[in-house]
Copies of this chain bind each other. A is one copy, B any other.
Amino acid sequence: MSYIQQSFSVQFEYKVYFTEKIFDPANPCFASFLESRAEKGIRKKLLFIVDEGVTEAHATLQEQIAAYCADLENFELVQDVIVVPGGEAAKNDLQLFYWLVNAIDQHAIDRHSYVVAIGGGSVLDLAGYVAAVSHRGVKHIRIPTTVLSQNDSGVGVKNGINYHGKKNFLGTFAPPAAVFNDAHFLTTLDERDWRSGMIEAVKVALIKDAGFFDWMEAHAQQLTQAEPQSLQYLIRRCAELHMAHIGGKDPFESGSSRPLDFGHWSAHKLEQLTDFELRHGEAVSIGIALDSVYSWIKGMLDEASVMRIINLLKQLRLPLYHPLLEIEDENSAIMAGLEEFREHLGGRLTISLLRAIGKGEEVHEMDAAALAQAVNMLRDKW
């Protein structure tokens, strides 16, 4: 038995820009990025895919895009900006996936063209997946328009759609060409959306950065009113921490360790059980409350810390409990979420819990009785 060894590495780079009113003719941010990617003699195409929630809230957006792109020298806007329904629905409908693939085909978007997706995490996940598998990878630019997508989902390397009701069953790892976080989009978000988006900052502070958690406590008042400066700081720090983690040991998650999924095993199941009536961030808030209280019950986390966490979530008016969380025994619906989580990550069950505020710790089993106790406390005690 002999063999040939293959071995190579692939370098990935992109920037996440912070800007405001990206399609204002006076704002050079987007144009100068594009011109830095221009190639002599080729007019590259730009295919825009936009979240319907965004076009509804920003009625002149399509004209702004058309006017802005008309001034670009080496790029050509595909005339029909494609508007797709926003929210989780975008990830639940395979027809949408093929509709977008067909658009790439029909408009002859090649591997030197760009798909530009504007929207919440759901639309970005869908459009990113479409771009990743068309021609084995068309370049894509993300313009996230929600708190969650600006501080977490939109700045990372993953995409995906749901399949047979399973979250992100189909997807890839595909870094974007660039990300533009435009603060102005956030002004039109529903309260539930901007509020729940903050949970990813709480999450990443809890597992990685105690100082950031302190800052959130100190600014809870401003944050709960979406005071722009505080919200911007939260988004930026949260994005930084996520990106530093991704750029670290295991960008494409070949191992089973997934600290950024703290609080997510039950959250993913709750989203599914509520038929996505719960926002992702709301479900994660409940999941974080659950795993924090569980950490405390199991003696990993001290009481003062768990109370700080519960209090911050309450101050940010994020939920702690949902009736579908109820755990009667090992076979409760939510417990199935543990097995689905294990399966999605592969290998041994690996759950991040808390050792302290700012310090995650992995465990490989969860105790159903202690979980049930935690659920009871979340329902009755706070």
Residues of A at under 8 Å CB distance from B? Answer: 1-19, 28-29, 39, 41-42, 101-102, 105, 108, 110-113, 132-138, 155, 158, 160, 163-164, 166, 168-173, 175, 236, 239-240, 243, 246-248, 251-254, 256, 342-348
Cross-interface CB contact of A11 among B9, B39, B42, B347, cutoff 8 Å: B9
Q: CB-CB < 8 A to A254: which residues of B? A: 111
Copies of this polypeptide in the complex: 2
Contact check, B172 vs A343: say whether CB atoms are below 8 A apart.
Answer: no
Q: CB-CB < 8 A to A240: which residues of B? A: 4
Contact check, A5 vs B13: say whether CB atoms are below 8 A apart.
Answer: yes
- Nearest B residue (CB) for A247: B8
Smallest distance from the beta carbon of A96 to chain B beta carbons, Å? 15
Contact check, B171 vs A133: say whether CB atoms are below 8 A apart.
Answer: yes
Q: CB-CB < 8 A to A108: which residues of B? A: 343
Contact check, B170 vs A133: say whether CB atoms are below 8 A apart.
Answer: yes
Contact check, A168 vs B136: say whether CB atoms are below 8 A apart.
Answer: yes
Cα separation A254 to B175 with both chains bound (whole Å) = 13
- Nearest B residue (CB) for A364: B41
Cα separation A253 to B170 with both chains bound (whole Å) = 23
Do A8 and B246 form a contact, CB below 8 Å, given A41-B348, A170-B133, A173-B137? yes
Cα separation A8 to B244 with both chains bound (whole Å) = 10
Q: CB-CB < 8 A to A251: which residues of B? A: 8, 10
Contact check, B346 vs A110: say whether CB atoms are below 8 A apart.
Answer: yes
Beyond A8-B12, A111-B345: 9 further Cβ-contacts under 8 Å? A2-B17, A3-B15, A10-B251, A10-B252, A42-B348, A108-B343, A113-B346, A132-B172, A138-B346
